[in-house]
Structure formats: C-alpha cells, structure tokens
Amino acid sequence: MKKWIVAVVVVWALVIVSGIAVGIVLVTGDDDKDSDNGANEESTSASPSESGSTSEPADGSVPPGLETFYGQQVTWEACGGNQCGVLEVPLDYADPTGDTIEIALEMAPATGDRIGSMVVNPGGPGAPGTSTAEDADFYFAPDLRARFDIVGFDPRGTGDSSPVDCFSDAELDAYIAADPDPDNRREVRDFVEVQEDFWEGCEEKSGDLGSHVSTIEAARDMDVLRAVLGEEKLPYFGFSYGTRLGATYAELFPENVGRFVLDGAVDPSLPTLEGSLSQAEGFETALRAYLENCVDGGDCFLGDSVDEGLRTISDLLAEIDAEPLPTSDERDLTVGNAFYGLVTPLYSEDNWPYLDQGLEEALAGNGDTLLLLSDFYGSRENDTYTDNSLEAISVINCLDDPWSIAVDEVPTYFDEFEEASPTFGAVFAWSLVSCHGTPFETTEPEIEIDADGADPIVVIGTTRDPATPYEEAVAMAEQLVPGVLLSRDGDGHTAYNKGNACIDDAVHAYFIDGTVPPDGTEC
C-alpha cells in the first residue's frame, strides 16, 4: 500500500492573507515505517548517549540566567525507529524565571561511523522540523545519514512545540480558498474580513505566545539544543527559511557555529516589499521554465509558445474565479485553491507532471488534482490539517518584519509587481497587507546579520529557484563575513540531493571532512 510522502521545504514569506509558501516534493513511499534503525517501538526511555549523543552540555559559555536550560537532560524515547524527546526553554529569554515552553525533538541516529549531531530545519517559517528527521532517508544521502544523527526540532509556535493557533479547520478551508486577487468591492470586503478574522483568532487562541515565536527566539532555542546535544560547535543544515534561521543563529552565536550549510538561501537584509517582488519574479521564472519544457516537448496542451501558455493559464484562473470547478470532494476548486495548486508543483521539476495533470483536468472542467495540490500546500489530509503551518508562518513573519500596507494602498503597487510577474504580480501585491492588524509585537531587538567571527558557512543557490531566487543566495553569501557561495544551475527550490553530484559531493566533503568548497563554485 502506498501513500504520498510530502517533504516540506518551505520558504520565506509568500502570498495572500496567509503570507505563506509551502514547497513540496511529491514522491511515493511505503505506508509502514518498520525500519527501526536499532530502536524498538516501545516507549522505553533512552539517554542521548545510547543513541549516539551525549547529555552533557558543551563547554561553551552559557548566557547568564540560563544555566538550568543549558544543563538539562533530554529523555529520549523510541518513536517509529527514531528517538523523540522534549527540550524546555523560556517563553521569554528576557525573563528566564518566567513561563516555559516545550520544543519537540526527533533524532534519526547515525547509521554508521558517527561524527556528531546535525540540527536541521526544512523551512517555513511554520514547518515542523521533526518531519525532517522522520524522513531523514529522503532528505539526506546515505553519506550524511551514516555520519550524523539527524536532529529535527519543531521551532517554537509550530508543530508540537507550543503551536500557535488562529483558526478551526473549517476556517482554514475558507482561508486558503479565499480569492488572493480580489477585483471588485465585494471581494475586497471579503478579503479584509478574512484578514481581520485571522488576527482576531490568533489573539484569542494564542495569547502571549504569539509575541514569542520570532526567528531570533527560535535561534536562541537552537543554542540550548546545541549544548544539550553536547556539541561545542553546532553542525547545521537549513533549507529555505531555514537559511534565515541559520544565519540568525550565526549572528547571535558566531563562536558556536560549526559546519553550516544554508540551501535555497534568502537575503536576510531584504525588506518585505523587496522580498515579495523578488519572489513574484522567481515564480514567474519558474512558470516560464515549466512552459518552455512543455512547448519544447511538442504538442503542448497549453499552447504552441510560452506566451500562449501563460494566456491559457491566466484565462483558466479567471474562469475559475468566475465559477469554481466541481471536484469529487465536497468542496469546489476556488481560485484561491487553484492558485496554490498551480504554484506548489513549481518548487520541483519532478512535480511538473502533477501540474500537467492538474491543468489538463481543470481545462476539462475538473478541479480534483489542483485541489489535491492545494491541500498538500496547506498540510491538509483526510479532511483535517496535520500541522499549523498555515497559521504559524504569518505570525512568525509578522513578528520578524511587521511592515504592511492598508488595503486601499494595494493598487499603487500593481505596476511594479506586474512588471516583476505578469501572471502572479497582483496576488503578491495583495500579500503586502498580510501583517496589517497583527496584535503581536516582538520583544527581541532588531539585528543586522553578518556572522562575523563564525567558521565558514556554505550558502547554496539554484539559478531558477522560484521561492528563494538565486540573487538572494548571492546576497546572503556576500553579507555573511564567512559566507562561501555554491551555485547550482537548474530548476526548482533548493539544490542538495536533487541529482547534482557536484553539489552533493561538495556538501558531503564539507560536513564529513571539513573541506570548504572554493567560493563561487558553480555546479
């Protein structure tokens, strides 16, 4: 029996009311995860040392007042072949004697001659990082699996780490189905109402937690985790938004940076407006690459040229906006669902056949596959949402950068967004209101990221990455004093373990042997 396995590789700030992009790679895999890597299925306690880690904190300095947190021992218990545990951290690092929260951990033990523990993050913000350890064999090649414990954690406010909450499942259905590009007075009114309801729900359901799920606080949690894992210098692999998290950590704790790889990098200095323009252009580039592939293959069902294909897709979205498509589900395919169903497969060239299927069906009046792809985007499965990524990403993004505009200002941005992306520009322009009305304010001071004093940090960019455009990786590598740029010429989001041996060999040589690739290496 087979199921979809969704490997979430998420990005920094996308679209509409949710401000989210969840990139997915769709593959098939077995339902049963019986391989236990030497651990049984019982909830028997196991110390970190038994699974290849040590419970003693590293010798690095401990921030004043945090000795109890840095010196704690995690009780690891078997979970589906891996080891799971809980880390306790302060809700507010400025008040370490106050309330605490729990951070969910999962570790896939090294399968061979272990070097140490590698902390990983799949992106987001909002994606539960424990999933990266759960699916470690999918994310990481055997070379890394053999040498490192893969340690994933759900960043505060996400997954099982004191998750923020804003909406019921039914409300989330309406949230993602909402029109991301309202074009009349009634649609604008509905758009505003959904936005207001979201923030009211967050304030009511999340309370004080909503002000303490920033990227800076998640980075502070990572340093507590480093100490508990016994790593004097932290090995870290971050994808997409995980590159921002990693760069933030490197700024706060440069002396604790070990072998760091940041893949699908974002520009940490880019304000919301410029970041949205960059991403709009990135998705336009990715859509054109998809259409070029279709046209070059001959007899493309979308048209005989890229421009004709773009017109076909734009006309289809307009038709769905006017009249949603029926599906075999009880829900219709709205233009909101259709938008997410369209952009989701653009994250990986391997997913283009699913986009073919979805668009062909939709052109024939059937919304099934595009709705399925939209559900993958929102982590919706069996009529429920399996995590809170749709909610967490907006709360975290708006803590990190609360800049927004009022609804009546949106049309003034249409021209520059449509220049960046004729297909998606208006949607990204409307996304600029995402933080309008947020009730939360971070208590963390703003920081400028350059990671001066850290060991070499390998920054990877892909030339036609839709979600984190290549130029952002170049910018991050330039801004980080120890930054080293590694480039992949290709399509899709992120570069590692995507079939490019040059990239994979460079990553493995760095993590395993400490060999830093030459700055500017092109693969």
pLDDT of residue 18: 38
pLDDT, mean of residues 83-102: 96
Residue 366, φ and ψ in degrees, nearest 5 = -120, 125
What 3-state DSSP class applies to 72?
A: coil
Say if pTM beats, i.e. exceeds, 0.85.
yes
Name, in order, each residue with C-beta under 8 angstroms of 53's C-beta and a sequence gap of 6 or more. Answer: 76, 107, 117, 149, 151, 229, 230
* Whether residue 235 has pLDDT greater than 90: yes
Residue 32's pLDDT band (cuts 50, 70, 90): very low
Note the pLDDT tens digit of each residue in 437-461: 999 999 999 999 999 999 999 999 9
CA dihedral in degrees (251, 255, 261, 262; nearest 10)? 0
Q: Are 454 and 481 in contact (CB under 8 A)?
A: yes
Q: Mean pLDDT, the chain, as a whole number?
A: 88
Q: Torsion angle, CA of 228/229/235/237, rounded to 10 degrees? A: -90
Q: How many residues does this entry show for the chain?
A: 523
At 60 the pLDDT is 57
Task: State how far the Cα of 521 lies from the Cα of 523, in Å rounded to an integer.
Answer: 7
Residues 252-280: tens digit of each pLDDT: 999 999 999 999 999 999 888 998 998 89
Dist CA 453 CA 489 (whole Å): 30
At residue 124, the pLDDT reads 85
Beta bridge mates, 78:
83
Q: Which residues are catalytic?
A: 240, 465, 493
Structural domains in the chain plus CATH codes: 2-29+270-382 (no CATH), 41-162+211-268+445-522 (3.40.50.1820)
Residue 12 has pLDDT above 60, yes or no: no
Between CA 41 and CA 82 the distance in angstroms is: 9
Alpha helix (H) ranges present in 411-454?
414-420, 425-430
Got the DSSP string for 160-175?
Answer: TSS------HHHHHHH
DSSP 383: T
Higher per-residue confidence, 24 vs 87: 87
> Quick check: 53 pLDDT over 90?
no
DSSP state of 52: T
> Residue 4 pLDDT > 70, yes or no?
no
Q: Which residues of 274-290 are buried (b: 16+ CB within 10 A; e: fewer)?
A: ebbbbbbbbbbbbbbbb
